[in-house]
Chains A and B, each alone.
Chain A
Amino acid sequence: MTDGNGTREIANPVAISVRGLVKNYDEVEAVRGVEFEVATGEVFGFLGPNGAGKTTTINMLCTLVTPTAGSASVAGHDVVHERDDVRRNIGLVFQDPTLDGYLTAEQNLRLHAELYGVQSELVKPRMQQVMTMVGLWERKDSVVGTFSGGMRRRLEIARGLMHSPRVLFLDEPTIGLDPQTRRSIWEYIGELKEREEITIFMTTHYMDEAEWCDRIAIMDHGEIVALDAPETLKAGVGTDRVTIHTDDDDATIGALADRFGIEARISEGAVSFGVPQGEEFVPRLFAEWDPALPPIKAVNVSRPTLDDVFMSYTGSTIRDAEEDQGKDRNRRMMQMMHGARR
């Protein structure tokens, strides 16, 4: 697999290939027949509310959970029959911390290198490289227990990269982090993409972050409902969002329906609706606005966001979906996922 010059296996153009993947926990169908492919070098995002089956899917791809049906291969190896080969080629950053807080940062990374059998002479230079990338090289001798949440996450990312994985899995890598750390994590991902031949597979439920991905799959209730580049998905929505502020929302909604045939609704304290060409609609709106109606105080036109994409495919916003799914089901899922993880 490696010759004297340290060149790697000829990169397979497909990093991850998933066919009809299903996972049931008792009666709960966590993942219902998911299919997709991720190309080598891609940053692929899995977007969806909590409990949509993202973590279960990632766990199956990481060989932590055995699929009920279907198959998947990662870095050219089957996740069920070639577990070890998959594990040698992937890096993992979990949602929950998995560092040893009693060891120093360096000891944690060294332990990882030993577990993965990294060549002894490469441990130090590689460690310096990955820790420098996440800005923790100066802190290598500090005990991890003294690190902040953001530092720990950065260290976990560095650790996941210690063995030069071909595919890096990031399960909600930015959850619970401050905006600055979130941004720097995205910087590392960008840097990685440029420097190393690495495929990144991540899950997130932050819409703004999904934009950074080359392609995203929107997952809801255990199924993929849409899969494409963020731009394409947004273009597919086909409408811009227009928001109008007046003193009488009900009258405004009525007027929009009567005069323009537009179905508007109240969203976040203003009247909101979608039209194909937002900028061109605004002059028409003012020209035809009846002076008897409450005057328009402000208008806002925005391009479709992934929130709108999510809405158009699932009929609800990601936040609503999380609440709707019922805390009960969520809790049950979480427990099961925890159980499987342990």
Chain B
Amino acid sequence: MSTTTEPRGSAGATVEAAPTPVVRVTVPKRSLTSELRAIKIVWRREIIRYRSDRLRMVTTLVQPLLFLFVLGSGLQQLSAASTHGVNLKTFIYPGILCISVMFTAMFSAASIVWDREFGFLREMMVAPIRRSSIVIGKVIGGATVASFQGVIVIALAGFVGVPYAPLMIIGIFILQLLLAFTITAFGVMIAVRIKQMQSFMGVMQMIVMPMFFISGALFPVANLPGWLAVLNRLDPLTYAVDPMRRLVFNNLSISPQARAALDPGVTWFGWHVPALLEAGMIVALGLVMLGIAIWEFTTTE
């Protein structure tokens, strides 16, 4: 620090220790550009933090691997008769991919609770930007991180008998991206209201596990008991698992009976819900929850 002010030889007597010129910055008025910049940096922060957190990458991967290889291989013994020769791991693969994305997305959303607890949220709240930019940046960031996780699970497809068909991979990638967005929006919507990490974790367990179990990630959605069928059709995750499973099954060479038993498709009063509508519902739901999250965030002081 002090090296710059040392007199330089004989010239030191005449030369005033010139201070470095002050770099002056002016903060521009709020504009679309400044909002986009803010969104981008909030998004980048999520990525930087994910990259530096190797442990999180590993831990969020443990659960899907457990489900897929331990539960899948174990239950295979019991279910071999009823799956018409299809490996149970192949069957539950789309569901496991969804839950994996979902967990990562919820954890990303949880960072808003951390940010509040550790005070960093305040730094963002006092900046001359819209609160919505913070929320949008967070949601896109969380969605990006969650879809990284999705990509890892997609890479595992070959181990569970799912072929690496390019179109299927692209389709699954897009679907899991939409899911990641919607679940992050959902998580942020909840996180905005919650002040403590423990409460958020509790709420998350209470919501995520039932959503997962009800969604049909682990069972076909036809011929369910009435009450479960109703819950299943109400569960948003159903509409992510179903089209993903259809994509996977389109690329398997299996008997029509097996297809009908394992991939019956979601029906509303007997009407088969098309995959595009299902994807559209996921997006619409995500946008609604993003809207609610923004509204909540702008109204809290």
Task: Give A contacts to B, CB under 8 Å.
Answer: 1-2, 6, 8, 62-66, 84-85, 87-89, 92, 94, 96-103, 107, 110-112, 114-119, 122, 125-126, 129, 132, 135, 159, 162-164, 195-196, 340-342
Contact = CB atoms under 8 A, between A and B. Distances in A.
A100 B115 CA distance: 8
Nearest to B31: A117
Contact of B26 (A8, A196, A342): A8
28 contacts: A2-B26, A63-B126, A64-B125, A64-B301, A84-B30, A87-B128, A88-B27, A88-B28, A88-B29, A96-B119, A100-B118, A103-B49, A111-B45, A114-B41, A115-B123, A117-B28, A117-B33, A117-B34, A119-B25, A122-B23, A129-B20, A129-B23, A132-B1, A196-B24, A341-B122, A342-B121, A342-B122, A342-B195
Given A2-B26, A114-B40, A163-B27, A94 B128 contact: no
A94 B119 contact: yes
B299 interface: no
Give the size category of B's interface with A. 35 or more
Given A89-B27, A119-B25, A162-B25, A97 B127 contact: no
Contacts of B29: 1, 84-85, 88
Contact of A114 (B37, B119, B300): B37
A98 B127 contact: no
A126 B48 CA distance: 23
A76 B9 CA distance: 48
Main SS class of interface, A: loop
Contacts of B20: 129
Contact of B49 (A8, A65, A102, A110): A102
Interface of B: 1, 19-20, 22-30, 33-34, 37-38, 40-41, 45, 48-49, 52-53, 115-116, 118-129, 195, 300-301
A6 B26 contact: yes
Contacts of B127: 87, 112, 115-116
Main SS class of interface, B: loop
Contacts of A111: 41, 45
A87 B29 CA distance: 10
Contacts, number: 115
A92 B27 contact: no
Contact of A342 (B19, B41, B116, B126): B116
B4 to A, nearest CB: 9
